[in-house]
Amino acid sequence: MDKKFLLLLIFAVSLTVSAQKKLPTNIGDAFVLEFSAPFERIIIQTEEKNMPNRDSAEIFTTPQTKLKNHKGKPVSPNEIRAGMDVEIEIDKTDMTRLAAKEIKIRTDPDKRAEDIDGYLDRVEDSRAMIDGRIVEFAPNAVLLGTKEWKGKSFKSFQEIPLGSLVDLKGLRQANRVILITRGEVRPNLFTQTEGKLVEAVKKGLVLPSPGQTGAGVVINGRTFKVSQDLEINTYVNKVGNRIVPKFLRLLPEDDPNKVLFRFYVLEDDIPNAVAFSDGSVFVNTGLLKLLENEAQFAVILGHEIAHVTNEHARRRFEAQQDMAIWAALIGAGAGVAGQATGVLVAQLTYKLMSNKFSRDMEDQADRVGLYYAYDAGYDVRESVNLWRRVMGIYRESVIGTTLYIDHPALLERLKETRREVVLNYANADFREAVVGRDEFLKGVGYYFGWLERPKPVVAAKTTPTNPKRTRVKKNPVAVGDGFTAFFREFKKAVIGSNRAAVKNMMASNFEWALDGYVSRDEAFGMLDETLWKGLKNAVLRAPVKCKSPYCNNRAGYRVWSSARYKVEIMFEKDASGNWHWTALLGD
């Protein structure tokens, strides 16, 4: 045998043996991602080092693999399910692959304790969604109200107002539902602290006027350019408003807990997003470039919205115990000099103008944000692909300082996100869930140049067949006065119950929504007689100029109907001076 070949062979064998020695012989803590018939392999994620893949691991089973419960007694394969924690002993006699000698469930599947501290987002039959987790009452369980509710007790979630704060103890069952054994419920009151925080943000967050080219917004001492592109802003707001939790959207306009979310695109290449307690959410173009579909974008926006709905800014502020500034702000109304107060507000605002939250808050925003995206109809399994993609493009040392500061490293975030998906959505039906690759491409593709913008259609000139001059009636509406023209036609069609005319209008350049976004055809089918009556009452009144902060980036009008239905008509001018309009229909 050739001497050089022999040396290379020995070297290769030594490398193989060295690599094999690094493989673990025992995995003490593994989370089951998948284990199903024919039970020939188990997919896990673990913190164990020297695994072939950092993301997840495939462990093979054989007829000789022993399966045991937490007491060490034999169990059948179908008793080990996704979402369980297991210990795995590797078969040392077969080091060509990771084969399991024994798989043991680490804890009693019926006694996995869970602590839940969050907000009641949804109630459906006997179950509820709290803190991004599915919960239900244990038999004879009672939740106690705090002093604000004078010791009132609750025996079902239907008795508790949506948005209430709950602190619960429970046990996660084999079906992944958490059975609540005891807990405390308190009303979600709008506190003085929250009011001051919102006012501080409003003072420090100065947005540019519509059409102000090159204008920016100052966040944490840095100026960002706000995109004025109509299409991308419309798309971001459409997706964002679809994800806002329903109970929050249905709050009366005068409820202090009402948050009017507004979504803005910042022209910045750093992949980042940030939300503030007044409902302002900013998404960098650098982050949008990373994404592959609308579901991934929905997960990102859900995370940001959850920071606001779970009052993380207030909790962070109270945890910092910045009482000197807080005391001065409280005392401002009692005679503190205006100039000094302005300085204090600026200091507080600087601290608020960041997305730096604790790990617990970031984890909660991920968990609750997943639910918001899921409840809006999105395939939240795309969250795992999102973080895989981010990991594949950016080094953790770079991305860790920009995308959700202080969050655990990307690998940990991917694992924790996937864990929540397995625990809370393993039984979900995703057959009709939205991934939205085409929708996302259409929404942002023109802006980034991924798609070529359609060229305007120019009507061909025709030679009149009748040379006789005819008198053309002049249109009294001024050129470019799009709102006046539309409002006149809309009013005429509604009062005359001309549904065909309304349908034609709905086919033009606008979006139509009913308590979340639906298709134009679906919306038209919802125009029942009650709605027509409400619309008639609305359009007989003069339109009002939009004065809400919601209108910062648009020039338009709003029309409100009866108490049951609401119609909002908003106009926006693009860079070319053309008018576009959006109609929102809600209950």
Please write the tens of the pLDDT for every residue from 140-183: 999 999 988 877 999 999 999 999 999 999 999 888 899 999 99
What are 379's two structure tokens?
Answer: 């395939």
CA 115 – CA 117 distance, rounded (Å): 7
Look at 151-160, 171-180, 310-319, 453-462 and tell me which has the smallest mean pLDDT: 453-462
CA 336 – CA 201 distance, rounded (Å): 20
**Residue 6, pLDDT above cutoff 60:** no
**Residue 404, pLDDT above cutoff 70:** no
**Residue 443, pLDDT above cutoff 90:** yes
Average pLDDT over the chain, rounded to whole?
Answer: 75
CA 564 – CA 586 distance, rounded (Å): 8
| Residue-wise DSSP of 128-176 | EEETTEEEEEPTT--EEE-GGGTT-EESSGGGSPTT-EEEEEEEE-TTS
Measured in degrees and rounded to the nearest 5, phi and psi for residue 504 equal -65, -40
CA distances from 481 to 132, 472, 486, 530, 546 (A): 47, 20, 9, 31, 16
Q: Across-strand partners of 401? A: none
CA 79 – CA 103 distance, rounded (Å): 11
**CA neighbor of 262 nearest in space, from 225, 231, 237:** 237
**Residue 384, pLDDT above cutoff 60:** yes
Average pLDDT (533-542) is 61
Length of the chain in residues, anyone? Answer: 587
Residue 234: what pLDDT? 87
Taken in order 390, 393, 396, 397, is the CA torsion positive or negative?
Answer: negative
Average pLDDT (187-200) is 80
The larger pLDDT score, comparing residue 534 to residue 353, is at 534
| Residue-wise DSSP of 440-488 | HHHHHHHHHTSSPPPPPPPPPP---S--S--PPPPP-SPTT-HHHHHHH
DSSP 8-state assignment for residue 408 = P
Average pLDDT (86-97) is 84
DSSP 8-state assignment for residue 541 = S
In the chain, the percentage of residues whose pLDDT exceeds 70 is 64
Measured in degrees and rounded to the nearest 5, phi and psi for residue 161 equal -65, 140
What are 535's two structure tokens?
Answer: 């619309």
**Residue 575, pLDDT above cutoff 60:** no
Residue 77: what pLDDT? 94
What are 269's two structure tokens?
Answer: 């290449």
pLDDT interval class at 400 (50, 70, 90)? very low
Residue 427: what pLDDT? 85
Torsion of CA 158, 164, 169, 173, to 10 degrees: 50
**Residue 80, pLDDT above cutoff 90:** yes
Question: Strand pairing of 127-130 and 112-124?
Answer: antiparallel
The larger pLDDT score, comparing residue 369 to residue 50, is at 369
Residue 70: what pLDDT? 93
**Residue 359, pLDDT above cutoff 60:** yes
CA 57 – CA 30 distance, rounded (Å): 10
Residue 98: what pLDDT? 86
The answer to whether residues 157 and 185 touch, using CB atoms and an 8 Å cutoff, is no
Residue 69: what pLDDT? 94
CA 246 – CA 242 distance, rounded (Å): 9
CA 394 – CA 390 distance, rounded (Å): 6
Model confidence pLDDT, tens digit, residues 320-336? 655 445 555 444 443 34
Neighbouring CB atoms inside 10 A of 83's CB total 18
The answer to whether residues 567 and 494 touch, using CB atoms and an 8 Å cutoff, is no
Neighbouring CB atoms inside 10 A of 351's CB total 17
The answer to whether residues 584 and 567 touch, using CB atoms and an 8 Å cutoff, is yes
**Residue 312, pLDDT above cutoff 70:** yes
Residue 520: what pLDDT? 47
The larger pLDDT score, comparing residue 211 to residue 254, is at 254
Measured in degrees and rounded to the nearest 5, phi and psi for residue 403 equal -95, 100
What are 344's two structure tokens?
Answer: 């204090």
Average pLDDT (415-428) is 90
Question: Strand pairing of 579-586 and 566-573?
Answer: antiparallel
The answer to whether residues 163 and 188 touch, using CB atoms and an 8 Å cutoff, is yes
Look at 78-92, 207-221, 487-501 and tell me which has the smallest mean pLDDT: 207-221
CA 560 – CA 543 distance, rounded (Å): 9
